[in-house]
Chain A
Amino acid sequence: MTTTAVPTAPPRHEPAVAGPSLARLTAVELRKLADTRAGRWLLITIGLIAAVIVAVQLFVLDAPDQTFTAFFTPSLLPVGLLLPVLGILSITGEWSQRSALTTFALVPRRERVIVAKLAAVVLAALASVVVSLAVAAAGTLAAAATGGAGTWTFDWQLLPHAAVFQVANVLMGAGFGLLLLNTPLAIVAYLLLPTVWSLLSAMISALREPARWLDTSLTMEPLLGAEVTGGQWGRLGVSLAVWMLLPLAAGLVRTMRREVS
């Protein structure tokens, strides 16, 4: 449009404004994770639950077993259970609260919003590993002060494994959210999945072998230790391709096409 055709139009606009970068969109999506009461409480709960687990370890573990690693590893599990909820909410919240209408009006290339959301929850998952490290450190100090071993033994292989564990958890949640676009449906489906696997594979022996490749509660377990064999990586990859990549891909297609109203 030429502004010269309209003599009344004041020259207050520079032409073509650059769109938001992915970094900026990711920062906005990170802010969205924490700027509602529900979101804030979810983040606080994730932190608290890690702290509670460490506190429980202080009481149940024998004094010589109270090491940094013994505090760190158990804190990953409950956090890993809540991170998918964070992933789901970050996606489905836009639809259930209908703020997608504003979001996509400002960024009509929806795939950019989705990528920014995934980046934001991955950063949150990595931050959760840092929180687990921090509470484990606090637990170790407390153990040393209360007569426990309090030794700082830590296999550094655990750290990347923990990061993969939490990132996979949050992205699986995001994938379910993206595919189902409905908060309760996505959460229930995600939580039921491992239970259904273990029920079915207990009943049907023919499923036991596929479960070793597809049941994420089995394939992700090695990540909680320092040693992961090639075979275990392979089974993990297969299960994540099915339960993470597939929902993410199908969900992206669905979100791109879906009518926003």
Chain B
Amino acid sequence: MIEVDQLTKRYGPHTAVEDVTFRCEPGSVTGFLGPNGAGKSTTMRMICGMTPPTSGGATVGGRPYRHLPNPGREIGVLLDASAQHAGRTGRETLTLAARTMGVGRERVAAVLDQVGLNDTAARRRVGAYSLGMRQRLGLALALLGDPRVLILDEPANGLDPEGIFWMRGLLREFADRGGTVLLSSHLLREVEAVADRLVVIGGGRVVAQGGKDELLAGAGTLVRARDAHALRLTLDRAALPATAGTDGGFVVRAEPGEVGQAAADAGLVLTELRPAGSGGLEQLFLTLTAGASTKEAVR
């Protein structure tokens, strides 16, 4: 279990993370979503004791990370796959960690196998690894101590579609066995396929959190008509709040029935009418974080 309580980090006048509070329960995957620079990595580094928070705190399994005697055996951490000594081989990197946390050599072989790094790859120096291979090595490192909790920052970065699919399966299985997973991403689609809960962060603040289904359900209706302009007028006349998508469709904050009725009354031909699902959440994600990422861009 991970508990984050009112974490705040300020760098001079700039607030990177402000009053972030959430929990990750055993048996669940929590997706930590936000655009680049939203404060995801800073929050995760604070959870892992790498960055001292300005105020607030976080515990993993009921204890602050820095008080854990042998964290590798309880929590698997992947904060940055590129942060490895380029001169060591993959196997050596794992061997050092295995010795530090006191697990046997057979675990090194087991996790190498689990993440799909073969013997040749394990003997190569990390400097020669692709980003995808580094992510796999980072995951192997996180899994090495057979932990109950995984904290992964952008683990899908650099993985190919097959790799992303594989990782989802791995995380799902980990959670189904009772593990706790917190993984961050700036891509909603990457996370929604595996997460049970979502925490959306923008500009250092949590802008939405809850069960994935709950957040998706609240996302409204997606509607598309042959005549997009007439649809817009109809929706406006029916006082249904609608946001135009990029592809001619509208996300309406109303039930599909209501939207269909309004269209039928106006005699419009609809080409699509369905609960917005992830499309709606993406819209929400964009609007909720748009201000924040603009701020980030001009800073």
Contact = CB atoms under 8 A, between A and B. Distances in A.
A and B part of one assembly: yes
Interface of A: 1, 3, 5-6, 8-10, 12-13, 16-20, 24-25, 27-28, 31-32, 35-39, 93, 97-109, 257, 259-261
A109 B68 CA distance: 9
Contacts, number: 122
A226 B2 CA distance: 61
Contact of B87 (A5, A38, A105): A38
> Shortest 9 CB-CB distances between A and B: which pairs?
A9-B178, A36-B87, A19-B69, A98-B83, A260-B50, A101-B83, A17-B73, A97-B85, A108-B66
Contacts of B119: none
A259 B50 contact: yes
Given A99-B83, A107-B100, A16 B51 contact: no
A24 B27 contact: no
| Majority DSSP secondary structure for residues of B touching A | loop
Interface residues of B, number: 48
B49 A108 contact: yes
Given A1-B1, A16-B69, A27 B99 contact: yes
Interface in B85-121: 85-88, 92-93, 96-97, 99-102
A32 B51 CA distance: 25
B24 to A, nearest CB: 12
A31 B52 CA distance: 30
B66 to A, nearest CB: 4
28 contacts: A1-B26, A3-B178, A6-B27, A6-B178, A8-B177, A9-B177, A10-B177, A10-B178, A13-B146, A13-B148, A16-B69, A17-B70, A19-B70, A20-B101, A28-B99, A31-B96, A39-B87, A97-B83, A98-B83, A99-B83, A105-B50, A105-B72, A106-B72, A106-B97, A109-B66, A257-B52, A259-B51, A261-B80
Contact of A99 (B84, B99, B102, B148): B84
Interface in B40-78: 41, 45, 48-52, 61-62, 65-74, 77
Contact of A12 (B50, B52, B97, B146): B146
Contact of A261 (B45, B85, B100, B125): B45
Contacts of A10: 177-178
Given A19-B70, A20-B101, A259-B50, A97 B86 contact: yes
A20 B102 contact: yes
Contacts of B61: 1
Contacts of B99: 24, 27-28, 31
Nearest to B41: A261
B133 interface: no
A106 B100 contact: yes
Nearest to B25: A6
Nearest to A32: B96
Contacts of A103: 100
A257 to B, nearest CB: 7
B82 A98 contact: yes
Contacts of B146: 12-13
